[in-house]
Structure 1
Amino acid sequence: MSMADGIGARALRFLDAQKLDHSPDHYAFAYRYLKGVDREFSDAVDREIEGGVRLREEAVRTLMPEIVSPFADGTFDRLTIQLLELLTKVASATGGLNQDLTRTAAELVSAEPQQIQRLVVFMIERTAQAESSLSAALQQAQVLRDTLNGVREEMGRDPLTGLPGWEAMVERLDACLTAIGHCSVAVVDIDQLDEFVATHGPAMRDRVLKAAAMTLKDACAPYQVGRWGDTSFLTVIDEPDLATGIARLESACAEMAARHLKMRETDEPLGQVTLSAGVATSRGRLPRDVTKAAVRLSRKARKQGGNRVLAEPRLIEIG
């Protein structure tokens, strides 16, 4: 059983223990909690269920606000219709062909010589018809696949920043390690975020997160940048030249520090916003161990004053 399968089964047991129905939103909540990547989220859930207290629906919505589904605009209905049409087309083409060929084969057994040519011509024409129908079904299947890939990508996006969400970033990291065997990751935090939230409230948190997301995405391209928990970002550096990745992160830090964010209500300066990043390389470690190492470095960078990038040494001493 894969890790994902194990967590999936545990998520369902968790929902049963909390007496929550198996809705997609509840499953996503349980999966995120049990995955354990977002430590702040997991700690908040632990506080809610401490002492054996069961989660209430209100607590679930508070801890993990509902994400607008890409199916809300009728996409799900359209996909269902396309799938049913495709299945009908394939069944009609293959089922009818099977019946016709079976009947014709039986007729050939006792057919007179003058009938054989007619039956053979019929089989050729019938096969051509089925081939044409299956070709059309194949084209429809390709369109449906492209649509589903688009929906899947959209579902994996963070609704606040538009960046890939943490599950999408986990998949990206796994794919990178599978494809090339090694990579580096950077966990990036906003140094003053807690201070801004305490002073100006949650709305300012969202504005600062959006600004940081835009800066990181532009400065770190073509590397993939996504959300990593509620207050962090993750960058996957999928090339051996770590120096280039570090340089892009340092550029992001400089650009963010140079921005002049203002209070929307009063137009007063918000104050300088800076980033801290920790960079870790895979070195044969599991993805979760690499990201944990990057988190530790990011926290260390903040303790050293922030607005800096700390990376693991290229070589680890032995002995």
Structure 2
Amino acid sequence: MLRAVCPVRRSLRHRMSLGPDSDRDRSFTLAQRSFELMRDYCACATPRAYAVWYLYVSGTQPLLNDAVKRLTTQNGTLTSADIDGLHDTYIDGRRLAVEVDRMNSSLIAEVEGIMEMIEVSIRSTAQYGESLQALTHDIANTATSRTRLREIVTTIVANTRDVTANNRTLEARMRESRSEIETLRETLEAARLESLTDALTGLGNRKSFEEALRRTVDASPTSGHGGKPTSLIVLDIDSFKRFNDLYGHLTGDQVLRLVAIVMREHVGQTGATLARFGGEEFGIVLPETGLEDARAIAERVRNGVTGRELVKRSTGESLGKVTVSLGVATQRGDDNAVSLLERADACLFAAKRAGRNRTYDETEVDALRDVA
């Protein structure tokens, strides 16, 4: 079980009063403790792992600390997949959340500025209307002299000029705000896409996968209603941990990118979602795709990965071939996203047990159960 780490809870004012040397000493102390925990509880020593442990020791993210304690209590260590998940959720995710909050604040400030300008314009227009009404009353007075009429006309012209100037100012401000809001919208959309993207492979991440699977299953026709259902492919790189241990995590990252490239090349289905939702686990959500077609896609991906020879970039050394195991399931009438994923996982595990480097679909798994 993970030893308790006392978070540093000094106030900003207190830290500033201690001077830069104290902050430097504190950073070294946190770094040393991070390395100790990474050595004792982590299966990998990567920059991501160090970032996770440093944040843990600093005590600034209680939810991260709870997640680390839970994982180490259950498994005794943090795997590469655990580190990736923690980093994506509590470090990259936090950065994106801060950026989105900043842009939301800018957007709110821009809208508030527009509302203020509109209120000014409304008041100006209301005053103009009241002035016209009063001047109209004066004109209706038959005793109004020529001099007074000239004054009335002059006042109307001046008031009209003021209202026109205010309207032009509002129009220019609205035009500027429209451009600013459009820029903010594009930035927010970019941040949203980044929050759904796995940084290493460029595929969707776990959040993207779960959202796409739920959305696609909910939108798919159920049995007896015509149309084609949703199919799901899950795949796992065979013996990936051993590969990482032999050649290092940088080469392991190369393998992950290779699988992502092959998936893009061989999944031409319109509307398909390709995702890396775990350390070496990938998923393909296929809307309006029957089991037979989905299995054919899975086999193309498997053969595409097996057909590539991996070469170590730094030395040119051949590292042999990488293989993957895949499971394929298709939506049934009573399925939701969870039940469909569970069946696809069962097919993947069956492929692993049968010797790896193969594709199993649910009809094959059902047949194996019948024989058993």
Fold equivalence (TM over 0.5): yes
Alignment match, 1:287: 337
The CA deviation at 1:49 is: 4.0
Amino acid at match of 1:274: T
Amino acid at match of 2:301: A
Alignment match, 1:8: none
Q: In 2 relative to 1, CA 267–84 (structure 1 residues): closer, same or farther, beyond 3 Å?
A: same
For residues 71 and 290 of structure 2, the distance between their equivalents in structure 1, rounded to whole angstroms, comes to 42
CA offsets, 1:7-28, max 9 Å, x none?
xxxxxxxxxxx999675xx658
Matched, 1:212 2:259: yes
Alignment match, 1:41: none
The match for 2:275 among 180, 202, 226 is 226
Alignment match, 1:56: none
Contact 1:220 1:245 in 2 (8 A): no
Alignment match, 1:94: 118
Deviation >6 Å, runs of 4+: 18-22, 60-63, 69-72, 74-78, 119-122
Contact 2:294 2:328 in 1 (8 A): no
Q: In 2 relative to 1, CA 121–267 (structure 1 residues): closer, same or farther, beyond 3 Å?
A: closer
Amino acid at match of 2:115: A
**Uncovered stretches (5+) of structure 2, i.e. residues with no partner:** 1-55, 77-81, 140-151, 222-228, 367-372
CA offsets, 1:177-225, max 9 Å, x none?
3444552221111123133134334333322212112111221134221
**Uncovered stretches (5+) of structure 1, i.e. residues with no partner:** 1-17, 34-43, 54-59
Q: In 2 relative to 1, CA 253–240 (structure 1 residues): closer, same or farther, beyond 3 Å?
A: closer
The CA deviation at 1:301 is: 1.1
Alignment match, 1:152: 192
Give the alignment of 1:34-183 within 5 angstroms.
46-49=70-73, 64-65=86-87, 79=103, 83=107, 86-87=110-111, 89-108=113-132, 110-113=134-137, 130=170, 133-181=173-221, 182-183=229-230
Amino acid at match of 1:210: R
The CA deviation at 1:122 is: 6.5
Larger Rg: 2
Count of residue pairs brought into register by the alignment? 276
Moved more, 269-278 or 193-202: 193-202
For residues 199 and 245 of structure 1, the distance between their equivalents in structure 2, rounded to whole angstroms, comes to 34
Amino acid at match of 2:287: D
Matched, 1:189 2:211: no
For residues 29 and 105 of structure 1, the distance between their equivalents in structure 2, rounded to whole angstroms, comes to 64
The CA deviation at 1:63 is: 7.2
Alignment match, 1:199: 246
The match for 2:309 among 236, 252, 260 is 260
The CA deviation at 1:227 is: 0.8
Alignment match, 2:52: none
